[in-house]
Structure 1
Amino acid sequence: MNNKSPGAGELHKWLADAIRSCKKRTVLLKQLYAWAEKLDGGMAMYLQSPLGKAAFQQAVSELVAVQILSPVGKKPATPGGLHRKYRIIKEPVAPDAALHEEIIRAIAPPAELDYYLRNPQDFRLDQPIIEVISNFLRQPQPGLLTVNERAYQLFGDEKFFQGAGRDRSRGARVLKRLGLGYAHIGCRETAEPFFSFQSKDFHARSARDIYIIENKDTFWSFKEQIMDQRAQLRADLIIYGEGKKIISSFQFVDEYAVKPEQDGFYYFGDLDPEGINIYCLLREEYPQYNIQPFVAGYQALIQIGLQKAPVKTPKAQRLVKKNVANFLTAFEPSWAAKIGEHLLQGFYVPQEALSALEMKERFGQQ
């Protein structure tokens, strides 16, 4: 073998061919070395010599220079500057004019062509779905249906757009690739209903107090002690938040003809990071309602909680300092300090601490 530059050039070509036939996205340096050893019978011994080591280093460096390989990681693994792992840069596939024509013919306006012209391999995978959607778009627009109703009509699967799992939500992915929304295929999303109670004169009152209660037991106690009896508080509508579910279900509140500018909206949950995160996300998702913490309820929780041995917050919960700070702006400084200190020390107070008896004593008729 020629141990000078022709050897390095030959080694470069040999490795380039091996890389192009590799189906993986990355290759280890030791695999490149193993491929190099197979160039001919004497290659293993040659690679151990100073000239062989230099040729191998030069060949790999050239593969990086011509963008066949890209080093993974910042620091080289060898004194010669080689990395332990490389990313294989696949050659772009030459555009297929016939396939592009097929894509253009297959996709009906107002669907967009851009994604599938850039990713023709995905067109083949999504083609059956695209055909159904395009055939629908070419027809006169029918009446408005719900998302699940349209999914069943078009694909025989009511969860094809919004189901759990990759396959059952594939329709939504194709719609996005086509630049379409549900309105383009004549359907609308429906709000998840929540469980609630409203006062008899709810619609007669010009301004109402609406409470969102995170947990089930507290929801029922609130109904029995505040809504169903004479109390210091007035509750015109109480909504069972059911933990995080309220983030999606709260849009159902529009069915009650609420008046965001006049009605008061109050959230009450566990005095812990999770409950505060839910509150902050709810405010963020529905800013038009100006939802506030139920201050008196949280003050009662911290008072009760401080009378008992502190309870550690579950490890799974994540304290977001920004959310805690935003939450505490609703409180007087002295209360904010007590609550903030309790939370930052890693303690919490469950909503159930404000029991039915505690509610009656604190908020019942005096």
Structure 2
Amino acid sequence: MRDLITKELLKYNKKTITLEELETWIPSNSLNYEQFAQLILSFEEEGILEMVKSKGRNTRTPSLAYTYRITKQHLKKDFHEELKSYRLRLHPSIHLDSYFGLDPSQWNSDKPYLLLIHDYLESFGFPTHEVPAPERSVELVGDEKWITDKHGKELLERIGLWTAMKIIPVSDPLMFAVNPSVLTQKVQKHLIVENKTTYQALVDSLSDMDFSTVIYGSGNKIIKSIEQFHRQLPLPHAEHRFYYFGDIDNSGIFIWYRLNEKVPVHLAMPFYQACLDKPSLEGKTNQRMDRAAIDVFLCLFTEQEREKLLAVLDRGHYYPQEILKTSELEHIWRNATWN
């Protein structure tokens, strides 16, 4: 019953609690008043519950305060002592520092998996080769979905072992066409396009361009699938330069913004500027605007271009990639300066 009260106190958001509220946490008929009182008094003695003097105490025996002030620092004392003891028990590479700032329920949830990871490291040490997440998941905890679907990745990051476990990210393969004639160059240029129509319009021209690949981003999928790039096109000594061309709408801008957070990606500016010479289209009013993404995107344009883009987005208009015909796309790609 003490563990139940402790758990509820840790979740409780207010600084004070009434005796009546404490009583509601006890299952009916599980304790008589004397047993309940002794339990609450034990929390008083440890400084976890402190009487609010202005509210007074009841007249029953043993006497309890009508209202208590909660001191969670004392409440977590046992929890912190447990963490310190596990620091000595677990493999030294398992870092527990983050748990001191988390709710004990997170520790209790993670502990069985930490013990399994400890056993794995004691038996096999650190892996030397990368394997897919489900395979490593089975090796570590006996559940192929633990890393991908059951917060296993978050736990490994929490204890500082995600990189050391050499896990191949689970994401769709990156879809791209390759221009083998330029793969020996020091600087490798790659054009990522958001939509399939634009990819198909450009892929037949790739062999005539100074680009190594044209990549089909498939909307949001590129944010994850870009993780596969170096595995699918291993050119260790090359300098890779990515360019992105997507729809000029809230969604297309946000995709580029998120992708740019993972790997530096230039806007394929000649394509975007060509779109701005066209009349915008109505629609896309149901998309959520991400202000940070819009601000970063607009910073890359001239003041005049920014004003036009803002006016287009504010009206609920947009520029789809398909506003540029195949012949226009090929001409721009071939003749623009790609720094």
Q: Which amino acid aligns with 1:135?
A: D
Report the counterpart of residue 237 of structure 1 in structure 2: 213
The normalised TM-score by structure 1 is: 0.62
Q: Compute the RMSD of aligned alpha carbons.
A: 4.0
**1:194, distance to aligned residue in structure 2 (A):** 0.5
Match of 1:317 among 281, 288, 304: 288
The answer to whether the aligner puts 1:129 opposite 2:113 as a matched pair is: yes
Whole-Å separation in 1 of the counterparts to 2:146 and 2:163: 16
Report the counterpart of residue 274 of structure 2 in structure 1: 300
Whole-Å separation in 2 of the counterparts to 1:210 and 1:219: 12
Report the counterpart of residue 198 of structure 2 in structure 1: 218
**How many residues are paired up?**
280
Q: Which amino acid aligns with 2:277?
A: Q
Larger radius of gyration: 1
**1:274, distance to aligned residue in structure 2 (A):** 1.6
Cα distance, 1:59–1:140 mapped onto 2, change above 3 Å: same
Report the counterpart of residue 144 of structure 1 in structure 2: 129
Residue aligned with 1:20, SS = helix
Match of 1:283 among 244, 253, 260: 260
Identity fraction in percent: 23
Whole-Å separation in 1 of the counterparts to 2:200 and 2:224: 22
Q: Give 5+ residue unaligned stretches, structure 2.
A: 1-16, 27-53, 57-64
The answer to whether the aligner puts 1:246 opposite 2:230 as a matched pair is: no
Match of 2:318 among 348, 355, 361: 348
Residue aligned with 1:129, SS = helix
Whole-Å separation in 2 of the counterparts to 1:90 and 1:64: 22
- CA-to-partner distance for each residue in 1:51-110, whole Å, 9 max, x for gaps? xxxxxxx749xx8984269xxxxxxxxxxxxxxxxxxx9993773899679746753322
Cα distance, 1:258–1:339 mapped onto 2, change above 3 Å: farther
Q: Which amino acid aligns with 2:285?
A: P
- CA-to-partner distance for each residue in 1:226-263, whole Å, 9 max, x for gaps? 325x5xx6433111112122222223333435689865
Residue aligned with 1:315, SS = coil
Q: Give 5+ residue unaligned stretches, structure 1.
A: 1-14, 25-57, 70-88
Cα distance, 1:115–1:353 mapped onto 2, change above 3 Å: closer
The normalised TM-score by structure 2 is: 0.66
Q: Is the 8 A contact 2:186 2:237 kept in 1?
A: no
The answer to whether the aligner puts 1:227 opposite 2:170 as a matched pair is: no
The answer to whether the aligner puts 1:195 opposite 2:175 as a matched pair is: yes
The answer to whether the aligner puts 1:339 opposite 2:309 as a matched pair is: yes
Cα distance, 1:106–1:363 mapped onto 2, change above 3 Å: closer
Q: Which amino acid aligns with 1:300?
A: A
- CA-to-partner distance for each residue in 1:190-243, whole Å, 9 max, x for gaps? 37430001112121334343201011111111113x325x5xx64331111121
- CA-to-partner distance for each residue in 1:30-67, whole Å, 9 max, x for gaps? xxxxxxxxxxxxxxxxxxxxxxxxxxxx749xx89842
